[in-house]
Chains A and B, each alone.
Chain A
Amino acid sequence: MANFFPKWTNQLPWKVVICLGVLTLSIAAAVTYYFTPKFTRVGYQPTQPVPFSHALHVDQLGMDCRTCHSFVEVASHSNVPSVQTCMSCHTQIKPDSPKLAPVRAAWNGGKMDGPPVNWVRIHRLPDYVYFNHAAHVNRGVSCYSCHGNVNTMEVVYQHEPQSMSWCLDCHRQPENALRPPSEVFNLNWKATSAHEQYQLGSRFKAEWGVNPPTDCGGCHR
C-alpha cells in the first residue's frame, strides 16, 4: 500500500484533538461569561427622560422607598410613582426646574392628561416569571437584595444578574438574605458579620416559617 499521507500528518490527529479541546473549552468559557445575565444585564444603565437622582432623594433627603413605590408592600408589582406623586412636592420645590419639564408636561397643571413620562425599564424578568414584591419585602427580604444600593445611585442601574440561578441561590438558602423587618427599607443596613447574618437569617427563617419554593411552579405558574 502506498503512503497517501505525508509523514507530518502522523501528529495531525493529536493536534486536531488538542485544538478542538481548546476550542470547546474557550467556547464554554466565553458562553459562561458573556452569555449570562452577569454580563449581559448587570450594569445596564439607560438614560431616563428625567434625571431623577435616588442618591439625592433617599440618601441626602432621607425619603423612604415607599414614599414613591407605595404599593410594594401590598402588591406583587412595585409601582413606578405617578406624576402626581412627584408634583406633590415639586409644585413647591424647584417648580420651574427644566429637568422636570417632562413631569410637568404629563401633569399638565393637575389635569394629568399630558404625554406620560417614558421611564425606561431596567429590571426586566421574563413574562413567564411571576415575582411578587409584597411576598418578599414582608418576609425580611430587603430591596437591597435584588436592586443593590439604589439609595446611592445618581442614575439607577441593574446591580444583580437576576438570572434564574441567582433567584435560586436565595430560594435555596434564604438565611443569607433575611433581615429584621424594620431594616428592609434601610438599604445601608448590614449584619456586622457573615456569621451574624446567618444566625439572624436562620432565626427569621424558622420563626416566620420561610420556605421559599424551589419547584418550577413556584415562579412559573
Chain B
Amino acid sequence: MAEGTLSPVEERARASVERAPLVAPGRTRGWISDYVSSIVEAKTPRWWWVAISITGTLLLVLIACTTYLVATGVGVWGNNHPVGWAWDITNFVFWIGIGHAGTLISAILFLTRQKWRTSINRAAEAMTLFAVICAAIYPTMHVGRVWMSWFLIPVPNANGIWQNFRSPLMWDAFAVLTYFLVSVLFWYTGLIPDLATLRDRATTKVRKFFYGILALGWRGGNRQWRHYEMAYLLLAGLSTPLVLSVHSVVSFDFAASVIPGWHTTIFPPYFVAGAIFGGFAMVLTILIPARAVYRPLGDLITVSHIDKMCKVLLFTGSIVGYAYLMEMFMAWYSGNPFERATFWYRATGPYWWAYALMILCNVAVPQLLWFRFFRTHVIWVFVIAMFANVGMWFERFVIVATSLTRDFLPSSWGMFHPTWVDIAMFAGTFGLFGTLFLLFIRFLPMICMFEVKAVLPSANPDSGGKL
C-alpha cells in the first residue's frame, strides 16, 4: 500500500479516535470577534422585546408577590404546621442547584484542561449568578422579618448578640454568599478582555463609555495577560472547592436535623451530583434556544459540545439514581422503623406521584442519553433537559415536603397545599432569571471570544498557520 493512503479499516479507526473540532472548520478569529460582538452591537431584535416583555411581566409578578408577602407576613405562603419548609426551601435548593453548572464548567473543567468549556462557560457562569440571585430570594423572605435579615451577617450590633455558628443554616448563608462573591469575581475577570474588544469596536459615545468603564483599562499587553492568566487560575482554584462545598452545606440544612429522610450521610454527595445534573440541564435548556436564535453560534457551540454535556448529564443523573436506590436500601437496612416508614411513605403515600415523577425525570428519561442519537439531536436533548429540570424540582419537593408531612408522631401529620402566592412567586423567579439572562445576551458577549480563539486549530503552533 502506498505511503499516505489508509485502508478503510484504518480510516474508520482514526476517525473514531480523532476528536471533533471545537469550532466548525472555516471560522476564523476575525469571524468570531465579528459575530459574537454583532449580537451585542446589532439593533435589538424583535424576538428580544417579545421575550423580555414576557419575563418582565413575570418579574413584576415576583415583585408584587414579594411586596405582598413582606407587608402581610410569611403566612401568605402555604407553609404551616407541620410543613414549615415547603416550596420556599424547595425553590431555594432548586435554584442553588442550577447555579452549580456554571462554576463547574468554568473552574473544574478549566483546571482539568477541558477545552470544550470555552464556548459555553460565559453563558453558564452568567446563568449561575442569576440562579443564585433567584435562590437568595427564598431564604431572605422565609426569615419573615426581612428587614432583620442583616442579622445573618456577623457585624457588631446594638443587641450585643452574635450568630449561632452551630446552626447549619448559618453555614448555608456563608456558603451561598461566598459562592456568589467568588462567582461574580470569576465571571467578571473572564469578561474583561472581551469587554475591551467591545470597547474598541464601539462606535457611539455611550458604548465607549459603558464598555470603557467595564474593561478597566485593558490593553491586551503581555504583562496584563500574564496577570490575567494567574488571576484566572487562582480564582479557578478558589471556586473549585466551592462547587462541592456549597451544595454540601445546603444538604447539611437537612442532614444535620433529626427528621427521618433528612438525617442521612449520603446527602452531601447526593446533593452535589443532583446540583450538577440540574445545572447542566439548565445550561442546555438555555443554550439550545440561544443557538437556535443565533444560528451561527452552532459553529461554536457544536453538536459535539452538546454531546459532551449530555454525557455529564447521564453520569450525574445515574449517580442521583444510585442515591435514590441507596436511600431506600439504607432505610430498610438501618432497621429504624421511622426511617423505613418515611421512605415507604415517599414512594407509596399521597405524594407517590411526585416521587414517581422524580424517578421518571431524573433516572429513567436520562438513560436515553446512552444512545448517540439522543445526544446529537438537539431537540431530543432539549426535551430530556426539560425532564431533568422538572425532575430536579420534584426531587427537592419530595425531600423537603414529604419528610415534614409525616413526623414521628401521627398527631403532627399533615399535607402541604401551595397558595397562589407560592405558585406566582415560583413563576416570578423564572421571570427574574429570564430577564437577567436576556439582558446578559443583549449587553455582554455571550461567548468567551478570546478563549474560543485559543482553541482554533490555527492557534496550535503546529498548525503551520492553517485555518
Contact = CB atoms under 8 A, between A and B. Distances in A.
A1 B200 contact: yes
Interface string A161-181: 001111111000000000000
Contact of A168 (B160, B212, B219): B160
Interface in A138-177: 163-169
Interface in B138-176: 157-161
A26 interface: no
B450 to A, nearest CB: 15
Nearest to A36: B158
Contact of B161 (A5, A32, A166, A168): A168
A168 B157 CA distance: 12
Contacts of A164: 158-161
A37 interface: yes
Interface in B104-160: 157-160
Contacts of A165: 157-161
A49 B406 CA distance: 60
B209 interface: yes
Interface in A48-63: none
A37 B158 contact: yes
Contacts of A35: 158
B247 interface: no
A72 B212 CA distance: 70
Size category of the binding interface on chain B: 10 to 19
B394 to A, nearest CB: 36
Size category of the binding interface on chain A: 10 to 19
B305 interface: no
A8 interface: no
Given A4-B208, A5-B212, A163 B158 contact: yes
B375 interface: no
Nearest to B164: A216
Interface in B439-463: none
A32 to B, nearest CB: 8
A163 B159 contact: yes
Nearest to B160: A165
Contacts of B160: 163-169
B100 interface: no
Contact of A4 (B159, B212, B219): B212
B396 interface: no
Contacts of A169: 160
Contacts of B157: 165
Contact of B209 (A4, A36, A167, A168): A4
A124 to B, nearest CB: 16
Contact of B219 (A1, A32, A163): A1
Contact of B199 (A4, A163, A167): A4
Contacts of B159: 163-165, 168
User: Most chain-A Cβ atoms within 10 A of its Cβ — which of B158, B159, B199?
Assistant: B158
Contacts of A37: 158
Contacts of B200: 1
Nearest to B155: A28
Interface string B199-216: 110000000110010000
B69 to A, nearest CB: 21
A166 B161 CA distance: 11
Interface string A11-24: 00000000000000
B233 to A, nearest CB: 24
Given A32-B158, A163-B159, A168-B161, 7 more contacts: A1-B200, A1-B219, A4-B199, A35-B158, A37-B158, A163-B158, A163-B160
Interface of A: 1, 4-5, 32, 35-37, 163-169
5 contacts: A4-B209, A163-B160, A164-B159, A165-B158, A165-B159
Interface of B: 157-161, 199-200, 208-209, 212, 219
The 5 tightest CB contacts between A and B, nearest first, are A165-B160, A164-B159, A168-B160, A36-B158, A4-B212
